[in-house]
């Protein structure tokens, strides 16, 4: 399916959602602020998805964001929270010391995104929807190359010398949707089935996963999957695991945008791995309004000449 057709389907989906019927709901009053750092430094590697920086916040005032009209929610949902996120993502080949194009490896790519998000749940039916609209850019305008080069320079690490060959500036608009179904829930154990799809100019893919959590924790459904301030638990400590399987139709960080620049390295779809597996394992610690989470991710190879990849994700948050 061509990218232009995908955009047409995205616009059609948007029109349908704008005219969908809204139901009564409770907007969560909690304010959540979250800082995120993704990297593979603890894995002693520095390639592929090598760094991510993010700031996420959720605030009841964001219910006035007009983008919320196109964010899908379950029928008769009774809880909802709205958020806004800024994310910068950095992708590199394995050998960042080389100053020539590495045609058998992943291209350099940087992404900067502004994301509007809603998380809504029908707690009686056990359904939760998370919907996002990404607006941003892939390419030099993302600033990812400059950030990585400066970080490596200050930390006396190998300088990344191939950013001159990164994916060119390309506008990003992506709609991302995830549905979670509660399969089992108790005070100390939860099991969810999930399905996710992304459509737009950066990613076109679909995935299924199973998530389990065990420990002392708030209900995933009641808290909308966020570390909301709790009146019943002063502290929480839980472990989670989530294996997933994805079908990839398009990945802009590998394949570039619609227009091809002959000086830039791209991967053709025939060179990619259409099926990608991922496993996430992690631990979360929350004390009253403060919390920390640490996750490890394992991805199978995204393209045929590539390798598997590990990276970690750390989140610090405050809620009130």
Helices (H), 33-143: none
Tell me the whole-structure pTM to 2 decimals: 0.90
CA–CA separation, 118 and 271 (whole Å): 35
When the pLDDT of each residue in the chain is averaged and rounded to a whole number, the result is 91
The 8 Å CB, 24+ separation contacts for 146-154 are 147/51, 147/53, 147/88, 147/90, 148/50, 148/51, 148/90, 148/92, 151/51
> What confidence score (pLDDT) does residue 228 get?
74
Per-residue pLDDT at 19: 40
Question: Residue 106 pLDDT > 50, yes or no?
Answer: yes
Average pLDDT over residues 238-249: 98
Q: CA–CA separation, 117 vs 100, rounded Å?
A: 39
Give the residue-averaged pLDDT of 181-194: 97
pLDDT 10s digits, 132-183 = 999 999 999 999 999 999 999 999 999 999 999 999 999 999 999 999 999 9
Question: 38 pairs with which residues across the strands?
Answer: 52, 313
Q: How is residue 148 annotated by DSSP?
A: H
CB atoms within 10 A of CB 76: 12
Q: Does position 5 have pLDDT exceeding 80, yes or no? A: no
pLDDT surpassing 90 at residue 92? yes
Sign for the CA dihedral angle at 220, 176, 109, 307 comes to positive
What are residue 148's phi and psi, to 5 degrees? -65, -40
234-246: average pLDDT: 95
pLDDT digits (tens, 9 = 90+) for 10-35: 555 544 444 444 445 678 888 999 99
Sort 90 into a burial class: Cβ within 10 Å, 0-12 / 13-18 / 19+: buried
| Percentage of residues of the chain with pLDDT beyond 70 | 91
> 3-319 adopts what CATH topology?
Lipocalin (2.40.128)
Task: Delimit the domains of the chain by residue range.
Answer: 3-319
DSSP 8-state symbol, 144: H
Strands 203-216 and 189-200: antiparallel
Query: 3 pLDDT band (50/70/90 cuts)?
Result: low
Residue 72 burial by Cβ neighbours in a 10 Å radius (0-12, 13-18, 19+)? middle
Please write the tens of the pLDDT for every residue from 196-236: 999 999 999 999 999 999 999 999 999 999 977 665 568 89
């Amino acid at each position: 399916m061509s990218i232009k057709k995908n955009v047409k389907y995205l616009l059609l989906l948007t029109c349908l959602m704008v005219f969908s019927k809204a139901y009564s709901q409770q907007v969560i009053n909690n304010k959540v602020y979250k800082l995120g750092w993704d990297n593979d430094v603890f894995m002693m590697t520095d390639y592929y998805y090598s760094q991510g920086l993010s700031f996420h916040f959720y605030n009841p005032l964001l219910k006035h964001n007009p983008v919320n009209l196109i964010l899908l929610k379950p029928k008769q949902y009774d809880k909802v929270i709205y958020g806004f996120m800024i994310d910068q993502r950095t992708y590199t080949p394995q050998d960042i010391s080389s100053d020539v194009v590495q045609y058998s490896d992943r291209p350099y790519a940087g992404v900067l995104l502004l994301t509007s998000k809603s998380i809504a749940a029908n707690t009686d039916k056990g359904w939760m929807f998370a919907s996002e609209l990404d607006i941003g850019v892939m390419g030099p305008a993302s600033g990812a190359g400059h950030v990585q080069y400066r970080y490596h320079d200050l930390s006396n690490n190998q300088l990344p010398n191939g950013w001159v060959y990164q994916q060119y500036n390309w506008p990003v608009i992506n709609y991302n949707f995830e549905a979670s179904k509660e399969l089992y829930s108790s005070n100390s154990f939860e099991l969810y089935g999930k399905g996710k799809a992304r459509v737009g100019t950066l990613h076109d893919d679909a995935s299924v996963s199973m998530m389990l959590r065990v420990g002392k924790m708030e209900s995933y459904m009641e808290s909308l999957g966020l570390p909301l301030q709790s009146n019943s638990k002063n502290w929480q400590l839980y472990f989670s695991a989530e294996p997933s399987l994805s079908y990839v139709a398009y990945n802009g960080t590998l394949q570039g945008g619609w227009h091809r620049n002959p000086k830039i390295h791209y991967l053709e779809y025939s060179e990619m791995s259409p099926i990608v597996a991922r496993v996430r394992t992690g631990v979360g610690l929350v004390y009253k309004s403060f919390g920390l989470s640490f996750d490890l991710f394992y991805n199978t190879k995204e393209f045929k000449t590539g390798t598997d990849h590990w990276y970690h994700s750390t989140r610090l948050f405050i809620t009130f």
